[in-house]
Amino acid sequence: MKQRILSGAIAALATTLGSTAVFAHDESVTVWRLLVADQEASVVNVIDAVDKEVIDSFELSGPAALHRSSSGETVFAVQGATGVVSAINTGIAFHDHGDHADIDVSSPALLDVEFTGDRPAHFVEQQGYIAQWFDGEDTARFFTENAVLDGQSEVRTANIEAAHHGVAVPYQHHAVVSIPNAEDASQRPIGARVVDFEGNRIGEDVACPGLHGSAGSGSLYALACSTGLLIISTNNGTPEIEHLPYPESLPEGSASTLLGGKGLQYFVGNYGADRIVIVDPSQAEEGFQLVQLPTRRVHFTVDPIRARFAYVFTEDGQLHQVDVLSGELTQSLRLTEPYSMDGHWNDPRPRIAVAGDNIVVTDPATETLHFVNAERFEKVDEMALEGKPFNIVAVGGSGMSHGH
């Protein structure tokens, strides 16, 4: 009560003085949005993860894989079947003010910019630089997030010898690109090299048999090979590649999907159907930890906020918390009916995203999103979402709003 009288007095004083600055109050704002693609329908739903309401739905040309940029301002929807990559402005932007970040919140929007081509597949973004790979084309395309947000669709390109299912990693003046199998480009790539955008190769080609799967963690980027990981670092902005072999102690196998830790520098990959491998790139032999799962793995993700945890969903309907430092399954929670990994790889099955305090799991069979509190590892809420909710990404966070 005392506070109210006091601020009323200040307001009256300010009115008297004709000042408006006094009224521009700063407040901390927290916003999280989920973008959820349907497995069957050509639609992406944007959901307010706090109110659990659909804000908007965007009609695409086909079912989409979703990739968020590191800034979270843009989500790219790769529609492999129809050859289109669409861009969605998430409506959440942060501006670094040094001691704090400002948050700008607006309506999400499907941008006019789109990229069309033969079989768009792997998408990689680093610090606003983007590489979009097309499996049916013999050049890789590069652009920036800022250009897309400005409505520009011009690209830079790099030659990749022959069309193949590979990947490119973008840097400011360079890219790392996969090298196709010269005998049969439909086979997995055989290595990686550094190129620039003027057609030059930089340094030696590096062998990476069976290359598939890539991820960034802090200053490092990793590519998965049948023999180990390629670890890419930069020296004065130029990428350098080093091969980190799987240790002898690991059983037969390799990773073909990678994720990178946020807050802690590590990589996590699949390693057989019912195991994951956690890799600390600063160590050799001891840097690899194998984690056995109770059943086969459906999906996994890292927690960008609680950095020591990653989550794995298994086909018995359980979500598991993995401590990436100890390599142990620390908690398990049954969320859904079983989802067998038999059948097509792209059948509708759960996917995981972390949105602030919540781990959100899509459940296409029951048309539901499950919300699990990440601290308590307990289901706290759910939301109905019509269709087959499948691929999911989260954007958001907290920032200051200066009331203008």
* 346 contributes a contact to Zn ion by CB under 5 A: no
Q: How far is the CB of 355 from Zn ion (least distance, A)?
A: 23
Name the residue nearer to Zn ion (CB basis): 223 or 392. Answer: 223
Name the residue nearer to Zn ion (CB basis): 48 or 102. Answer: 102
CA 396 to chain centre: 13
Name the residue nearer to Zn ion (CB basis): 341 or 400. Answer: 400
**Region from 143-151, 177-185, 310-318, 395-403 binding Zn ion, contact rule CB under 5 A:** 395-403
CA distance 233 to 159: 22
- Residue 287 carries which DSSP code? G
Residues in contact with Zn ion, shown as a per-residue x/- string from 87 to 126 under the rule CB under 5 A:
----------x----x------------------------
Residues in contact with Zn ion, shown as a per-residue x/- string from 43 to 82 under the rule CB under 5 A:
----------------------------------------
Q: How far is the CB of 80 from Zn ion (least distance, A)?
A: 10
**Region from 104-112, 126-134, 340-348, 392-400 binding Zn ion, contact rule CB under 5 A:** 392-400
CA distance 362 to 382: 10
Q: How far is the CB of 167 from Zn ion (least distance, A)?
A: 8
Q: How far is the CB of 122 from Zn ion (least distance, A)?
A: 6
* 334 contributes a contact to Zn ion by CB under 5 A: no
Q: How far is the CB of 152 from Zn ion (least distance, A)?
A: 27
Question: Which amino acid is residue 195, in one-letter code?
Answer: V
Q: Please, are residues 338 and 317 in contact by the beta-carbon 8 Å criterion? A: yes
Q: How far is the CB of 136 from Zn ion (least distance, A)?
A: 14
H helix runs in 114-223, sequence order:
145-149
Phi, psi of 95 (to 5 degrees): -125, 120
* Interface with Zn ion in residues 142-171 (CB under 5 A): none
* 173 contributes a contact to Zn ion by CB under 5 A: no
Token pair of 129, please? Answer: 């630089």
Token pair of 188, please? Answer: 């997995």
* 316 contributes a contact to Zn ion by CB under 5 A: no
56 burial level (CB within 10 Å; 0-12, 13-18, 19+): middle
Which residues does residue 381 pair with via DSSP β-bridges, in sequence order? 371
3-state secondary structure of 225: coil
Name the residue nearer to Zn ion (CB basis): 80 or 338. Answer: 80
* 135 contributes a contact to Zn ion by CB under 5 A: no
The strand order across the sheet containing 275-279 reads 258-260, 267-270, 275-279, 288-292
Phi, psi of 72 (to 5 degrees): 80, 0
- Contact set with Zn ion (CB under 5 A): 97, 102, 400
